[in-house]
Structure 1
């Protein structure tokens, strides 16, 4: 199925909860959005399992300071959606648009791939 643009308010609640917690650097709430066997791929690195994802979240929260603005949302089906965020901060390059591709299972995030 082809992804269709949606209003951000129509994103699955768990995705919205994760995005808000991640932006607020609230690791306990963010990690609660993931399945125990979740996988995150970010910046060419893959983190498998909730403990590894939690370490990634903690590192992300402390490594750079940046702002995030949600600029687009799409949904392929009930279990797959993509969010595009515009980031500006003190990371290399200072500005980037990233696509957050979510795969859900049992109402939680089972996989998250982050890439330009």
Structure 2
């Protein structure tokens, strides 16, 4: 699968449950949209990620990736402690200057 290196790093951090990698993945002013909320900035994104891991104990395994305009879309199988696990989700990333500037999950 031909995925930008920065996104491979994000999914490796997700699999390894390593929040320290997030500071290398996201821009300092990045935005994450998830479950109807926006998380802005490195600290808020790290807090969101840690809370989601604690709540769902999930891992996302990329299935495929494609470009849609300025977004890189990754379809992933997500399994964890939630109803109907595993499910497929789409992750939408905007990459600027080698870092994730914006991410959404649907």
Please indicate, yes or no, whether the TM-score normalized by the shorter chain is above 0.5. Answer: yes
Partners of 1:17 and 1:69 in 2: CA distance: 12
The count of residues paired between Structure 1 and Structure 2 equals 106
Counterpart of 2:99? 108
1:22-80: CA deviation from partner (whole Å, max 9, x where unpaired)? 12110011232000100001111110111110101111222122343221211235x53
TM-score, scaled to structure 1: 0.82
Query: Which of 61, 67, 72 lines up with 1:69 in the alignment?
Result: 61
Tell whether 2:55 aligns with 1:95: no
Counterpart of 1:39? 31
Counterpart of 2:11? 19
For structure 1, list consecutive stretches of 5 or more residues without a partner in the other structure.
1-7
Structure 1 residue ranges (4+ consecutive) displaced by more than 4 angstroms after TM superposition:
none
Question: Greater Rg, structure 1 or structure 2?
Answer: 1
